[in-house]
Amino acid sequence: MDAITDLNDLRLFAEVVERGSFTAAARSLDLQTSKLSRRVRALEEELGVRLLNRTSRSLSLTETGRQFHRHCLALVEESRAAKELIDRTRSEPQGTVRISCPLGLLSLGIATIVSQYVQDNPQVQVLVDATNRRVDVIEEGLDFAIRVRLPPLDDTDLAVRQLGRSTLILVASPALAAKHTAPASLASLGDWPTVSMTERNERHTWHLTDANGQSTSLIHRPRLAMDDLASLRIAVMSGVGVALLPKEFVTVDIRAGRLIHLLPDLSTPAALVHAIFPTRRGMVPAVRHLLDALVVGLGRVDGIDTAENYDAQLPRKRPVGPR
């Protein structure tokens, strides 16, 4: 037999049995008695059996109705349990949160923030896909993905929340700096060895601006290129070459004297550290509170500017596609 057309009829039937009459059940369900009676009779016709014995004075279950009623009660109870689960999920952080984050950002403090969040919310499980690749939050079933991009951001049908701002600065080891004349401009770094993040086209160019907004650039051929900020930082501290690294990634090293900030008047335009997610509608507390924790936590990281309450939905101008 095919599935019952309307599962609500099972709940109506169970209510009639529990209340002992159509009148009492209709009052409980806020339905007309005649409508409730028609729904139960339609259920019997769909099943092809009689579930209730009706007289002008009494109502009783047939044997088939008694067995059917047990299954109805189980379905009603499962429905209530499912509703309670959703209510709990909406009222307090719990459940599984799936996110994606670049490797460099994890080591900059996001791993610490997420770890503390899990400790503070024992009913939440966070699954992190640590990757530098561009992910599709919808196709991959992610609650959100963290990215770093220069503004303006691409138009998209996804929701966006800014977590902070990040700039890149030029740094070198004291040992390397001791071998060269202090640079007076970006062009004067042309004789210095460099290390850099991997570029697909293998064309390495640094674009920076000064305090007045004047742009300058340097084409260079790095001695070492890799797709991992942590490894790049190690190479710089080892004296392999100059690098353009996130300010928040090297602030502590500069203060400790392990690295030197070259040309401090130059930096890249501020990039947006942001989270992208399918929609704000129906966002559960576990996800919303984790985003809040990231905003607060990243605001305490040296070198990252505070998000300043930015939270906007980007306009929809393109159909859904890979992100």
Give the residue from 162, 116, 157, 150 showing the smallest Cα distance to 136: 157
Average pLDDT of the chain?
86
> Which residues partner with 18 through β-bridges?
none
Report the pLDDT value the prediction gives residue 225, as an integer from 0 to 100.
94
What is the percent of the chain where pLDDT is above 90? Answer: 45
Give the residue from 284, 1, 273 showing the smallest Cα distance to 160: 273
Same-domain status, 85 and 101: no
pLDDT tens-digit series, residues 77-136: 888 777 776 766 666 788 899 999 988 888 878 999 999 999 999 999 999 999 988 899
> Which residues partner with 109 through β-bridges?
none
Phi, psi values for residue 39, rounded to 5°: -65, -45
Phi, psi values for residue 251, rounded to 5°: -55, -45
pLDDT tens-digit series, residues 44-68: 998 899 999 887 778 889 989 889 9
Report the pLDDT value the prediction gives residue 322, as an integer from 0 to 100.
35
More confident residue, 151 or 183: 183
Q: Is the distance from CB of 263 to CB of 170 less than 8 angstroms?
A: yes
pLDDT tens-digit series, residues 187-218: 999 999 999 988 877 789 999 999 888 999 99
Distance CA 106, CA 110 (A): 5
Two structure tokens written together for 155: 């138009």
- Does any domain span residue 232? yes
Q: Is the distance from CB of 236 to CB of 171 less than 8 angstroms?
A: yes
CB proximity list for 200: less than 8 A, separation 6 or greater: none
Same-domain status, 32 and 106: no
Residue ending a domain, among 91, 117, 145, is 91
Same-domain status, 87 and 103: no
**Residue 157 binned pLDDT confidence (cut-offs 50, 70, 90):** confident
Two structure tokens written together for 189: 């770094």
Same-domain status, 107 and 39: no
Distance CA 101, CA 175 (A): 33
pLDDT tens-digit series, residues 292-310: 999 999 888 776 765 543 4
Look at residue 151 and tell me whether its pLDDT is greater than 80.
Answer: no
Same-domain status, 78 and 123: no
Same-domain status, 38 and 77: yes
The parent domain of residue 178 ranges over 168-262
Report the pLDDT value the prediction gives residue 257, as an integer from 0 to 100.
96
DSSP secondary structure string for all residues of 5-30: S-THHHHHHHHHHHHSSHHHHHHHHT
Q: Is the distance from CB of 146 to CB of 250 less than 8 angstroms?
A: no
Report the pLDDT value the prediction gives residue 293, as an integer from 0 to 100.
94
Look at residue 317 and tell me whether its pLDDT is greater than 60.
Answer: no
HSE of 5, CA atoms in CB hemisphere, 13 A: 8
- Does any domain span residue 179? yes
**Residue 235 CB coordination number (10 Å):** 19
pTM, to two decimals: 0.62
Report the pLDDT value the prediction gives residue 306, as an integer from 0 to 100.
59
More confident residue, 319 or 235: 235
Distance CA 76, CA 74 (A): 5
- Radius of gyration in angstroms for the set of CA atoms belonging to the chain, rounded to a whole number: 31
DSSP secondary structure string for all residues of 53-76: EE-SS-EEE-HHHHHHHHHHHHHH
Residue ending a domain, among 91, 110, 138, is 91
Query: How many structural domains comprise the chain?
Result: 3
CB proximity list for 20: less than 8 A, separation 6 or greater: 59
Residue ending a domain, among 262, 289, 305, is 262
Report the pLDDT value the prediction gives residue 221, as an integer from 0 to 100.
93
Distance CA 254, CA 264 (A): 12
> Which residues partner with 244 through β-bridges?
170
Look at residue 246 and tell me whether its pLDDT is greater than 80.
Answer: yes
Look at residue 316 and tell me whether its pLDDT is greater than 50.
Answer: no
Report the pLDDT value the prediction gives residue 310, as an integer from 0 to 100.
41
Look at residue 4 and tell me whether its pLDDT is greater than 70.
Answer: no
Same-domain status, 148 and 175: no
**Residue 35 binned pLDDT confidence (cut-offs 50, 70, 90):** very high
Report the pLDDT value the prediction gives residue 134, as an integer from 0 to 100.
86
What is the rounded average pLDDT of the residues 252-259?
Answer: 95
Quote the DSSP letter at residue 106: I
- Does any domain span residue 319? no
Report the pLDDT value the prediction gives residue 228, as an integer from 0 to 100.
84
More confident residue, 90 or 144: 144
Residue with tokens 């899990």: 118
What is the rounded average pLDDT of the residues 19-35?
Answer: 89
- Does any domain span residue 267? no
Look at residue 174 and tell me whether its pLDDT is greater than 60.
Answer: yes
Q: How far apart are the first and last CA of the chain?
A: 44
Distance CA 277, CA 96 (A): 15
